[in-house]
Structure 1
């Protein structure tokens, strides 16, 4: 054991584990309590069957050794067969009920986790790896299902068997049984040792598995870049590094768990030697009323005790791993969204009013503030543009307006109403967003457009597609899926899908974040009139890199390092000959060279 592991002694059953188990029971298992009681009853029947089998075995041996009655022997055989037929029936019904109950519990757990995950802030998804989320929703919940279902039922069955058979053996020969359990303290010590090491390494293994799944997701998503840059060997090396680390951690877990079985086997051998030696002496010695049938039955009983005891020990050895998994799943459930509806939040507000940022402070991290007293006013019904260099805070402004993040200070109002006093769903429903980062699902283009309004009619979808200049592509492709994350579409086609979505939602406030950045000039010119119709009479805020595309804006705001350094019309800003004029001149020269 390493020094870290020695100093970091973790209890098998901590207060956090108890709290997690209470959570699991109260939310997902308590409603199955009647069925679990039925299962417990069946397990008790199985334990009694074993005890009766021992009793009938001793009777059968005495028939063979003493009376020699064939009729009595046949009767014993029939009873034994009936007993095992009953046990066989219980062995079928117990897993069937427990599997149904556990799978149903995991279904409800996943449903709750998905529902809760969808309510979490964007910040959670930006700081949490996708592989870790997938791991919790898929592999870890499934592992919990096996744990609370079949594994636990089997462990209870084994424990009941050990208790009932041991009770019978104690009743038959307490001296011999007391001799057999002298190894119990050693077994307990082994289990404590194994459990502590497993709990430490399992936590590391779960973290490594989450990172590994995230690496695979990144590699698959970025395969186009990997192929173009001929970096297959680099990605192979990166993924194999994760594979190797995961292999080493799982080896440590499983090798540690493997210590349990040989320890118990050696203990069992020691016990059998004691039973055979001590029992043989009792048979030989006239001081004890013990015959050969009793000793053979006792040995058979010890086999019945130690075999389920071995399985029970394996289950106990796996408990730390499952406690770690349960804790990981619970932590997702315990994540608390910070962007929620305040008490008394309203749904009605003036969507055509001015959007005002007053003394807004914001930072993604405490040590790197972005906005420090930012003031901006977007006039209702006008087209406003935000420009600036990369990292100046352009897209962040849109994120604050839609409450993907909350300000650290100051306030944002629409029509004089603070947006944090509005219902989040009502606020976001007021926006149609065409973002640079477009989410495309592996479905048809038609369904990708309809995604923002599932109740839209076919005619409305077609109208939106026509206005966004994507209808011809739909006719060519039909209902064909566009591939994972729209892999079969060009950047311009993806952005036209996003524009079609904006036409379909027809919200009163339009947010365009680099909406035409992936379009060639000919395509941009074709849809410019459609965008003009979309924004007519509405409040429109455009984040643009191509300054020529926002020359007609009613007002242009120039950001630099989170500060508002200029604002005015295109002509006014050119006359001031400051940052905006420099950016525009540099872009114009670049366009002239391209021609």
Structure 2
């Protein structure tokens, strides 16, 4: 029974124009990005009030003009009123130009600051967040949703404030003219509020589904683009087309539903307004005919014009509140990114001082990606400082995960990792990671020149240093052949070997004291691998080098080799020691050697 009560309360909360979460999100945006611009917002509000006063004065002058026509018939008075009306609307036109210019400037500045905060916060999140979050969702939040908020706050919200101000000022004038007649027309206002509450939940539900569909579509596009080579080779263009067609059809259906839900607002308000007009014409006509209420024909006509000036912006306000429900979903989605918190951060008193040449010790380390599938339990190994240590094993044995734990891309769940006598969790993350150069299997290549791709890891490097790194990585000749040509998105114009040599050049240029090689030569042919291995040997001289490899030919010169299987160290020693043991390593080596031959 309690569950049903809770569900009923949740449904009631969702049916409100503003839920508790909506109000919290609006206050967050106000305090974070708009409050500091309050003085400029007051200027905008002042200009909006001027626009509302113009309409009120227009009504007063219209009533006076009608009396001139109906009663006195003095042309001079009519001309004066016409001049004043034109001057008033000239003022309103000026305000109508200044208000959007200033409001868009304020809103775009606020959203720019929010977007930069989003990017800054995004850079602090753990690698695990990016591995579980589709790229399309991140792109949608930082791109589409932030831009939608800018347009909504800078244009639609300001227009709504203008419309609300017009309604309040003109309504106040109409109340002053005839409270009874205004209350007669105002009976439709509660009906408008009820109608808006009715559609608000449906709009929010549809908008949430539309945002999810857009995120999935963008992720699908990203996957299709990245995997186009596989798509083409396997002849799956038709399936990809079908998958993306289905996504676009889903978005179209949701867009139609959203517009249908929002479309009911305007005609409903029109019908209610028509009812109010009928009441005013009937009631006002009676009041004018009786002569007991201080209203004449000019007053009734002016009152009707005033109602038009009230209900027209009220229609726009109704449409605004319908759109507001969709934008509250967007605001909730954007803010949810800020609510993602990194688990890997500097502990209080973290130091940047440690011996980068010391031994690296994994002492009883436990780790899992998911609780039901532990990878390491009580893993212990030592990587000697200034030596080359290799970690080999089958795919899924945990080789690359060890590198991720050493650099604190993930935290261990048990045990400890130390550099010398210093636990790595007591080190500043920036200082720890600055001690590593990485040549990874997953190489990030930007759509820029080879020169700029190498320089990425050290923007302040000299030309001579960049050329030296390129020469050592055997990529200098290609860099000379295409000095100003971009390499395409994700290095699409380069071979796998060329990409890896760029990654090696980066590691050489970075010149960090600890070198991590994760399948660094996996995409190279035998001749090129021999050349690059010599470059890596020169690079690793005198520094701690950790080599993760599946191809055992890449680790035969290592000072020590750990053989991993299912998250455990099953063998260790030099190449000669392991071959003499005739165990897992020796068997793998013989199989691979036969493949080379």
Which TM bucket (shorter chain)?
over 0.9
Instruction: Give the Å deviation of 1:283.
Output: 2.7
Residue in 2 that maps onto 1:144: 149
Map of 1:426-575 to 2, 5 A cutoff? 426-575=431-580
Instruction: Give the Å deviation of 1:43.
Output: 0.9
Question: Does the alignment pair 1:423 with 2:428?
Answer: yes
Q: CA RMSD in A?
A: 1.5
Map of 1:272-283 to 2, 5 A cutoff? 272-283=277-288
Q: Distance in 1 between matches of 2:420 and 2:9?
A: 59
Q: Structure 1 residues 538 and 28, CA, compared in 2 at 3 Å: closer, same or farther? A: same
Q: Distance in 2 between matches of 1:363 and 1:489?
A: 36
Q: Structure 1 residues 5 and 256, CA, compared in 2 at 3 Å: closer, same or farther? A: farther
Q: Structure 1 residues 277 and 576, CA, compared in 2 at 3 Å: closer, same or farther? A: same
* 1:214 counterpart (219, 238, 246): 219
Q: Distance in 2 between matches of 1:533 and 1:394?
A: 24
Residue in 1 that maps onto 2:100: 95
Residue in 2 that maps onto 1:131: 136
Residue in 1 that maps onto 2:5: none
1:481-509 deviation per Cα after TM superposition (whole angstroms, max 9, x unaligned): 11111011000000000000011011111
Residue in 2 that maps onto 1:117: 122
| Corresponding residue SS for 1:453 | coil
Residue in 1 that maps onto 2:290: 285
Instruction: Give the Å deviation of 1:12.
Output: 2.3
Map of 1:229-378 to 2, 5 A cutoff? 229-378=234-383
* 1:204 counterpart (194, 202, 209): 209
Q: Distance in 1 between matches of 2:520 and 2:593?
A: 20
Residue in 1 that maps onto 2:85: 80
1:305-344 deviation per Cα after TM superposition (whole angstroms, max 9, x unaligned): 0000000111111222111111111111121111111111
Instruction: Give the Å deviation of 1:591.
Output: 1.9
Map of 1:397-412 to 2, 5 A cutoff? 397-412=402-417
Asked if 2 retains the 8 angstrom alpha-carbon contact of 1:195 and 1:318, the reply is: no
Q: Distance in 2 between matches of 1:220 and 1:415?
A: 45
Q: Distance in 2 between matches of 1:144 and 1:497?
A: 40
Instruction: Give the Å deviation of 1:289.
Output: 3.4
Q: Distance in 2 between matches of 1:525 and 1:140?
A: 50
Q: Distance in 2 between matches of 1:390 and 1:529?
A: 26
The more displaced of 220-229 and 64-73 is: 220-229
Asked if 1 retains the 8 angstrom alpha-carbon contact of 2:13 and 2:19, the reply is: no
Q: Distance in 2 between matches of 1:272 and 1:424?
A: 69
Q: Distance in 2 between matches of 1:138 and 1:461?
A: 34
Q: Distance in 1 between matches of 2:185 and 2:106?
A: 38
Question: Does the alignment pair 1:192 with 2:197?
Answer: yes
Instruction: Give the Å deviation of 1:367.
Output: 1.1
Asked if 1 retains the 8 angstrom alpha-carbon contact of 2:214 and 2:251, the reply is: yes
Residue in 2 that maps onto 1:37: 42
Residue in 2 that maps onto 1:55: 60
Q: Distance in 1 between matches of 2:114 and 2:12?
A: 35
Query: Number of matched residues?
Result: 590
Residue in 2 that maps onto 1:392: 397
| Corresponding residue SS for 1:119 | coil
Query: Structure 2 regions of 5+ residues with no counterpart?
Result: 1-7
Query: Structure 1 regions of 5+ residues with no counterpart?
Result: none
Q: Distance in 2 between matches of 1:166 and 1:535?
A: 80
Q: Distance in 2 between matches of 1:45 and 1:6?
A: 41
Instruction: Give the Å deviation of 1:280.
Output: 2.1
1:493-533 deviation per Cα after TM superposition (whole angstroms, max 9, x unaligned): 00000000011011111110000000000111122211110
Instruction: Give the Å deviation of 1:9.
Output: 3.8
Instruction: Give the Å deviation of 1:282.
Output: 2.3
1:387-413 deviation per Cα after TM superposition (whole angstroms, max 9, x unaligned): 111101000000001111110010001
Asked if 1 retains the 8 angstrom alpha-carbon contact of 2:508 and 2:539, the reply is: yes
| Corresponding residue SS for 2:123 | helix
Instruction: Give the Å deviation of 1:4.
Output: 14
Residue in 2 that maps onto 1:25: 30
Q: Distance in 2 between matches of 1:587 and 1:429?
A: 35
Question: Does the alignment pair 1:71 with 2:63?
Answer: no
Residue in 2 that maps onto 1:174: 179
- Calculate the TM-score normalised by the size of structure 1: 0.97
Residue in 2 that maps onto 1:14: 19
Q: Distance in 1 between matches of 2:190 and 2:303?
A: 22
Residue in 2 that maps onto 1:582: 587
